[in-house]
Structure 1
Amino acid sequence: MKGRILIYSIVGCPHCMRAKSTLHELNLTYVDVSIDNYPDSVREEVKERTGKTSVPQIFFNAKHIGGNAELQELVKDKTQLDTLIDDVTNNEVPPDAPQLPDPSLMKNPEIGNLDFTCELDEYALLVRDLKASGLIKDHRSGLRVHKQSFIGKEFVDWMVQTKRVDRAKGVEMGQNLLEHHFGHHVKDSVNEFRDDNTHYRLMEDDESSALNAGLSSECEPRPATELSEYLRRLILAIYSDFLSSDGKSVDYKGIAESKKFNLYVKTTAELIRLDMNSLKREEKLAFFINIYNALVIHANVKVGPPVNLWQRYKFFNVVSYIIGGHVYSLQDMENGVLRSNRKGVGMLTKPFGAKDPRLQVALEKHEPGIHFALVCGAKSCPPIKTYSADDIDNQLKAAGEAFLESSDGCDVDMSRKEIRLSKIFKWYKEDFGNTKQELVQWIHEHMNDGDKKKQIRELIADRNYKISYMPYDWGVNSK
């Protein structure tokens, strides 16, 4: 290729990712310029050339084709695409084509002050208009007041008058707002938009304690697996910056002041509109482990670590994110999803009732390995790591082996014929076995080969041993 395909992008932009994926599928080599790695002058040049402040912006030599939507249209028009490919294949980059930024100008991404945004979801634009319409306000219904709500019939009236659609189309658009998790029924989980006096509310207007409540993302939502992987990489970078060398303590103050954390907080808005029901087992495991661990860090930074029994109870039952239109607390993620809707410590009932829509997201079978992956923020918790769907089982296996090899997880005193275990095995005993023998057998099977495993094998064969549980150190894992 004598010429050049140039794509301007920003970090975390789903349309940029899709455009680059399309070029890759077409076997077309391209140069990616992430404009958030360069000074404002580069952004201004792109803006002047394209008249756009959204990304991606794509050039075939000097020819500006537009963004991802325009690229997808080109793929359908083979004649025009072939002409562009022929140009970059046979002709060198002309002087009037965009020039690559000077590499010496590269810097760390500036977070929070970018003029460029991703391409907007069409329903995000509709919500933007709805918020400016005056329909959203406090409505009284009998003795109740539905704060910051709008009425189904009034929404349809507004659609007919301002968008020039019929009532059926107006109802369809309202239904799509619900299904895209922009809004919901004010009283229950009924996911049906009605052309009557039913009250609805935008997700961002909910009075919720979730740490991503009140945030909104106008970008077309990326798949949950894609977002999870992006958040995984971002949290990995944060961990690398603020974890101690032993991986057990976190500099929460440092995180709070970091640009990467500010980016992370903004990105949690995308969790609100995810489609969770299509995830496979491995994807759910990696997604919820990573999000749980990130939420603990987020809560320790914003809320503060729990220091007594009551605060710990509140921390795990109240600290939450809105994911796919539903609130998930730490308890919900651990016991509802990852433990296949089992009662947690101190819980009188299962997290999800029979009609709870979150039950559809829960794993079909509990996964014991999650106990070595979930980080609670205390010193006795497993070390902080991140997980990916494509290798989750091996990663959980390795995490379990590492935990059992540590003195925090398992210790053997042969002189007393005693196996001392983390209280995790006491609190969640049913996940590992119904009897003492089943528990110890599970531990033996999931240990790495070594002296400790040989000792436990001897005790199992002797059938004369006892189990005790070590004190759990709830001291905060902060520096």
Structure 2
Amino acid sequence: MRTLLSLCLLMVSNILWAAPKADLWPYWQQSNETNRVTVSHVLWQQLLDKYLIQQPQQTLFRYRAVSDKDKWELDRYIRSLTASDPRQYRKNEQFAYWVNLYNALTVRLILDNYPLKSITKLGGFFTFGPWDEELITINGKQLSLNDIEHRILRPIWQDARIHYVVNCASLGCPDLQPQAFTASNSEDLLDQAADRFVNSTKGVKLTGDKVRLSSIYDWYGEDFGSTAALQSHLNQYRKGAPVQLNHISYDYDWTLNETE
């Protein structure tokens, strides 16, 4: 009976969750390229420096160790971002703003609900994870994580590397980056994140002529293009022998990316 119930719940989860399409929210397209103001991400960087642990194949977060003071500082950082109108900034400044905000909100979600084994346990019974929950208000507009990723970042910047830098607090996800994004370092960090993920076993694992890819490449296939385009993308970053995408399977680990 328990096995049957588990299978039913898994089937419901698969039905309820499907990777969202990029769907532009036009309100957020505006920018001011003459504005030289920069957004401070110092508070976010301090949190990363203190609690993010880098391992060869994975970065892990010490959720259990985060002090009440640092939780308050995280809230203060998020409040500082949401109190401003990102449309007044340059596009490069906006990109860093949205990526850092997404990742900070994800960490706060975990901290607010800790302990838990997976972010997918959050949300209602008939939802798969918290991504559609409205978490913040900016300019009177309520936004969810899905709004930031799929209605702002993906459609406005149209860069597949975005999938390497928005973190879902899971072992299967591309790493939470140890550096906060800024207008000046975003391009380098995007390439570094792509390089690290493509050369990790959670991104690409070769066994003979078989290739196991992260499910990200399946869920967001429209962003990576045809099989030939995806193969070219992977080999742009791969070290060693080129990947041949002849026999592909997909996998993803939703276990929380935590460490003691």
Superposition deviation, residue 324 in structure 1: 3.2
The residue type paired with residue 400 of structure 1 is A
The answer (yes or no) to whether the contact 2:51–2:63 under 8 Å persists in 1 is: yes
Q: What's 1:288 paired with? A: 98
Match of 1:253 among 60, 64, 83: 64
Q: Which runs of structure 2 are paired with 1:41-52 in the superposition (5 Å)?
A: none
Opposite residue 475 of structure 1, the aligned amino acid is: T
Alpha carbons of structure 1 residues 319 and 297: separation in structure 2 relative to 1, 3 Å: farther
1:273 touches 1:325 (CA, 8 Å); kept in 2?
A: no
Identity %: 24
- 2:53 corresponds to which residue? 244
Letter in 1 for 2:242: Q
- Structure 1 residue 323 displacement after superposition: 2.4
CA contact (8 A) 1:299 1:319 kept: no
CA distance in 2: counterparts of 1:262 and 1:398, whole angstroms? 30
Structure 1 position 239, deviation (Å): 1.9
> CA contact under 8 A between 1:286 and 1:387: conserved in structure 2?
yes
Say which SS state the counterpart of residue 244 (structure 1) adopts. strand
Alignment of 1:150-299 (within 5 A): 226-227=38-39, 230=40, 232-246=41-55, 248-255=59-66, 257-299=67-109
Distance 1:292 1:320 in 2: 10
TM-superposed CA distance for 1:315, in Å, is 0.7
Of 159, 174, 182, the residue aligned with 1:382 is 174
Instruction: Give structure 2 stretches of 5+ with no counterpart.
Output: 1-34
Amino acid at match of 2:235: H
* 2:102 alignment partner, SS class: helix
Residue in structure 2 matched with residue 401 of structure 1 by the alignment = 195
Between Structure 1 and Structure 2, whose CA radius of gyration is higher? 1
Native 8 Å contact 2:120 2:130 kept in 1: no
Residue in structure 2 matched with residue 331 of structure 1 by the alignment: 146
Superposed CA RMSD: 2.4
State the Cα distance separating 1:250 from its structure 2 match.
1.7
What SS does the corresponding residue of 1:390 show, helix, strand or coil? coil
Q: Distance in 2 between matches of 1:370 and 1:274?
A: 23
1:411 equivalent to 2:205? Answer yes
Counterpart position of 1:478: 258
TM-score (norm 2): 0.74
* Structure 2 counterpart SS, 1:339: helix
Kindly indicate whether the alpha-carbon contact (under 8 Å) linking 1:412 and 1:455 is maintained by their aligned counterparts in 2. no
What secondary structure is seen at the aligned counterpart in 1 of 2:202? coil
Secondary structure of the residue aligned to 1:425 is helix
The CA distance in 2 between the partners of 1:258 and 1:293, in whole Å, is 19
Counting only pairs closer than 5 Å after superposition, residues 106-121 of structure 1 correspond to structure 2 as none
**TM-score by structure 1 length?**
0.42
Query: Does 2:124 correspond to 1:318?
Result: no
Residues 214-272 of structure 1: per-residue CA shift (max 9 Å, x gap): xxxxxxxxx99634xx2x321221122222342532222322x2423312313433334
What SS does structure 2 have at the residue aligned with 1:259?
helix
Q: Are the counterparts in 2 of residues 409 and 421 from structure 1 also a CA contact under 8 Å?
A: yes
SS in 2 for 1:389: coil
Alignment partners' CA distance in 2, 1:242 and 1:384: 11
Structure 2 equivalent of residue 429 of structure 1 = 221
Tell me, yes or no, if the aligned pair for 2:121 and 2:129 is still in contact at 8 Å.
Answer: no
- Work out whether residues 52 and 60 of structure 2, in 8 Å CA contact, stay in contact via their aligned partners in 1: yes
Q: Gaps (5+ residues) in structure 1?
A: 1-222, 341-362
Higher RCO (C-alpha 8 Å, min separation 6):
2
> 2: CA distance between counterparts of 1:332 and 1:224?
26
Match of 1:303 among 94, 99, 113: 113
| Deviation digits for residues 396-439 of structure 1 (CA, Å, limit 9, x no counterpart) | 011101110111111223x3x22221001111000000x22222
Distance 1:389 1:474, change over 3 A: same
Alpha-carbon contact 1:224-1:276 (below 8 Å) kept = no
Of the three residues 372, 375, 382, the one matched with 2:164 is 372
For 2:185, what is the secondary structure of its paired residue? helix
Runs of 4+ in 1 over 4 A off after TM superposition: 309-312
Residues 181-231 of structure 1: per-residue CA shift (max 9 Å, x gap): xxxxxxxxxxxxxxxxxxxxxxxxxxxxxxxxxxxxxxxxxx99634xx2x
Residue 281 of structure 1 and its aligned partner are, at CA, apart by 2.6
**Mapped contact 2:120–2:128 kept (Cα < 8 A):** no
Q: Give the aligned residue type for 2:185.
A: D
Q: What residue is the counterpart of 2:230 in the other structure?
A: 439
Local SS of the residue matching 1:292: helix
For 1:387, the aligned partner's letter is F
Q: Does 1:391 align with 2:200?
A: no
